[in-house]
Amino acid sequence: MGKKKFEPDWTDFRNVHIPDIVIDGSDPASYSQTVLSEFETRKRLLTHARLVGCERDMMLLFIKADKMMRTCANQQEKEDMGKVFCVEVYRLLGGGGELTVNDQVVCKDN
């Protein structure tokens, strides 16, 4: 005879306390200062888009952005195109609030 495997029931979870997490979106100290790689950023955006239901649109936006960025002539144009695509991703994922790119507010929803 083997040991009976422990299986928790709902009474085991009623005493678990989950603290409230409050993130102030207007406070820059609330954000992580870690810069992710492009691969990791795209992976996370695609995961979020899949949850929202717009994965195909996000893939098409990535293809469009890659094509446009290859044809940019100078650094200023690349930065401006990057901001445009950030706004498109922001709108695709639902928007809401402010979008800040390089410490500059590029989109503000009311």
Inside any domain, residue 1 = no
Could you tell me if residue 9 is inside a domain?
Answer: no
Domain containing 57 equals 37-108
* Overall domain count for the chain: 1
In a domain, 12, yes or no: no
Rounded to two decimals, the pTM is 0.68
How far is the C-alpha of 33 from the C-alpha of 30, rounded, in Å? Answer: 9
Domain assignment of residue 74, yes or no: yes
DSSP 8-state class, residue 97: S
User: Does 44 map to a domain?
Assistant: yes
pLDDT in tens, the chain (110 residues): 566 777 767 666 666 667 777 777 677 777 778 888 999 999 999 999 999 999 999 999 999 999 999 998 899 999 999 999 999 999 998 888 888 888 888 888 86
Q: What one-character DSSP code corresponds to residue 30?
A: G
Q: Give a yes or no: residue 47 inside a domain.
A: yes
Q: What is the pLDDT of residue 62?
A: 95
Strands 104-108 and 98-101: antiparallel
Separation CA 42–CA 63 (nearest Å): 12
